[in-house]
Chains A and B, each alone.
Chain A
Amino acid sequence: MHGETSSPATTYPPGWRKPAWWPAVSRWQALAALISSVTVLPLLVIALSFADVNADIWAHLSEFVLPRLLANTALLLLGVGVGVLLLGVPLGWLVAVHEFPGRRVFNWALMLPLAMPAYVMAFTQIGLLDFSGVLQSWLREVWGSSAWFPPIRSRGGVVLVMSLALYPYVYLLARDAFASQGRRALEAAQSLGLSPWQGFWRVALPMARPWLIGGVSLALMEALADFGTVSIFSFDAFTTAIYKAWFAMFSLSSASQLSSLLVLLVFALIWLEQRLRGGRAYHAGRLAQPQSRLPLHGWPAALACGFASLVLLLAFVLPFGQLLVWVARVWEADLDARYIDFVWHSLALAIMAAGLVTLCALALSYAQRRDPSPTARLWVRLATLGYAVPGTVLAVGLFIPVAALDNLLIAWLGAALPEGTTAIFKGTLAVMLLAYLARFAAVGFSSVDAAMQRITRSQEETARSLGVAGFALLRRVHVPMLRGGLLTAVLMVCVDVMKEMPITLMTRPFGWDTLAVRIFEMTSEGEWERAALPAVALVLVGLLPVLLLARASSHTGAHR
């Protein structure tokens, strides 16, 4: 390996002369392009829908559907963006830098809402808080009226529930950020006469920016691609219009066109953020030492504990409690030996996908570091867009080229195949894993790439001057420093894959039903109580990676 300077390294096979029209492609760009092709291909299939524009449907949508939808989308982005920051940042700050009663439990417990699909949480929240729900019924019995109670099925309700469901992305990344900053910067700030409060605002928060942006963009992409939660709230969003065009007006092409616009919107937001970020650096002086935390006493300790408890109560304990009440009613009839298979399938898929996605995220992040050219950056960004597409649309975008490839191959191989062959690649685990990569690359990437920015060029230079280069450089210098980020990536992808439904439904091999598929079977006919059983199992299985990683990473500052 050579030529690993900060300028793009362009090497060609010996004896091959570059034609004038051939763009200069570094091997890092090629790597990024290879990985992101898995995402770009379905996005292209979706964009190809513009070949068939139904003017009639578009005229209708733009007159009666789009105005409301755009206003709602803006509200969703703003509300959820602010909501997840207000919940995730203070919690990450408290847990990473302070010591207060219960901190060790909150440290892992605050990520639990991640293991519950957002629409399941939404449904339990409505069951508790709506007019016919438990709380308001009780209020009416006691006071005779619950008219003063704010309606949960409202715009505010959607924003609240989504913020509660999605804040763990920000919490996890903020915690990593604050823990990896080390105390030094804060101590320096204090020696310059800043109060701890000023230190937070003027030093810690700006230094955590890539993590916070990463977390917020994950939350917002998921909010934009969400269909389950918004439909439970009868909230008109991009996805509801997409599914209206597809399922109700039978126009998959109009649905794909709307999805393309959604992807464009996300791409524009990412580009804008990068422009604003400019060339700032976020290095830490050295690998963060396991630091001593700032002990809180008295009121501050009570407030910290109270705030964390309240969030945990609303985002996890109450909805999970409701699920348990339902499970108590149905488990005897519904729990059977097949659950062993469901759990095993969910776990196996989650672990394989998490490994693949994290590896690719590391490759993307490292490629971008070795080659900071706009081309490499573009490929890396494209790879992360799959998270913003509604799952069902992405699933179809993925399935169409795979099925087309199979059709070609079957025609080509023809008689050599066994009689009645209908599939070569489709219905294999490999396709399923690539589909998860297309969907969740963003989840792995935001965590790994934020951590990558803590590593200074001088640290790399030093290692290189000692003769460490190429893959060894990555393995011996970067990976140890990225450990926290890599573990967070594995954890988030694991849990996200377990919850994933549309891609799993579309690409699973015969008989590979998972817990998420089980939830679908129940909810598709409105049997929410019976869906509680697989949902609870999903949360419990989701706990496994959480606990394992908490143990495995007990030596890195972030996860202690």
Chain B
Amino acid sequence: MKHALLALATLSALSAVAHAEEVVVYSARNEQLIKPLFDAYKKETGVDVKFVTGQEGPLMARLKAEGANTPADILLTVDAGNLWQAAHEGLLKPVQSKVLDANVPAHLRDPKGQWFGLSVRARTIFFNTHKVKPAQLSSYEDLADAKWKGKLCLRTSKKVYNQSLVGMMMADIGPVKTERVVRGWVDNLATDVFPDDTKMLEAIAAGQCDVGIANTYYFGRLMEKNPSLPIGIFWANQQGSGTHVNVSGAGVTRYAKNEKGAVRLIEWLSSEKAQNLYADVNMEYPVNRKVNVDPVVAKWGDFKHNYINVAKAGELQAEAVKLMDRAGYR
């Protein structure tokens, strides 16, 4: 019995044994956004990067079930909430790296070094240029004002980007005021919530509503295809705490077989060489401040971040979801 199993194990293990050099990544960031980087890394260093893509929840459940026998060295996800949760569940390992501390601003990484933001995703206000003047806009909170009644479009509260936005607002102005704002948003809705940012932006362009909240790269993609759309971008809360930002980022797994290789790869991803490739493929913002943003993205102008650590979004996410449910924001 034992011999048969051993033979089987050796056979199937042939494919599962990591080569010493190789780095294995579980990625919730999709293939077309990460593969060009891993190809470039291989070209530069000769190190192979093996990766599996999937949704964050299942990938984390997988890491947990595999425990010490996970092949993964790195977990890569697309928002801070999930990174916070992975750290919270003990799936990640703290890393000391001067390179990462220098390349990634403090509010975009875990204070204990369990994960590091690699690109910035800004979530701000968009408006129909035929109907709204930028001077009429100011903040996320202002969209709850009755003057926007029947003019606001929002994406569903089930998307993590909105959960993070509301979580950060709770950190900013407290849960009571936040709930009042969210209720105001719901009262102002022009139509049922949208399944994604692109559809929401198209509704603004079509005149179904005047204003809405979306991530900037969806706007970038839409305008690239159809530059004549009457949609404008407005940087929210510049007079106050700054525009809400989230990160896509990575951490070294707790049971990484190739910890050194994993750290080196994350350091490389945060470097000037890689940052443009990492952020520009999806019109996001680099985390590394020494790197210039994509020329198309640069045209949208500079803006002030909300400097509260993005980890807060994960910590408050469950509370934010409850708050939105209470307020009737679907």
A residues neighboring B (CB under 8 Å): 57, 60, 64-65, 126, 130-132, 137, 151, 153-154, 231-234, 236, 240, 243-244, 246-252, 392, 395-396, 399-400, 403-404, 406-407, 409-410, 413, 416-428, 502, 505-506, 508-510, 513, 517, 520-522, 524-528
Contact = CB atoms under 8 A, between A and B. Distances in A.
A230 to B, nearest CB: 10
Contacts of A250: 85, 88, 317-318
Given A231-B195, A407-B69, A424 B13 contact: yes
B96 interface: no
B90 interface: no
A151 B194 CA distance: 13
A345 B93 CA distance: 35
Contact of A509 (B8, B15, B321): B15
B208 interface: yes
A57 B196 CA distance: 26
A454 B322 CA distance: 53
Given A60-B322, A249-B318, A407-B69, A525 B30 contact: yes
Interface of B is mostly: helix
Interface string B46-78: 000010111111100110011111110000000
B326 interface: yes
Given A126-B199, A407-B68, 8 more contacts: A231-B156, A246-B57, A248-B160, A249-B317, A403-B69, A404-B65, A423-B71, A526-B196
Nearest to A508: B52
B208 A234 contact: no
A312 B132 CA distance: 43
A168 to B, nearest CB: 25
Contacts of B31: 513, 521
A327 to B, nearest CB: 15
B205 interface: yes
A413 B318 contact: no
Given A247-B56, A404-B65, A132 B156 contact: no
Contacts of A426: 66
Given A234-B194, A250-B85, A421-B16, A392 B57 contact: yes
A403 B65 contact: yes
Contacts of B13: 417-418, 421, 423-424
A234 B32 CA distance: 27
Nearest to A334: B32
Nearest to A236: B330
Contacts of A407: 66-69
Contact of B163 (A248, A416, A527): A248
A421 B69 CA distance: 8
A409 B31 CA distance: 32
Given A131-B203, A234-B330, A422 B55 contact: no
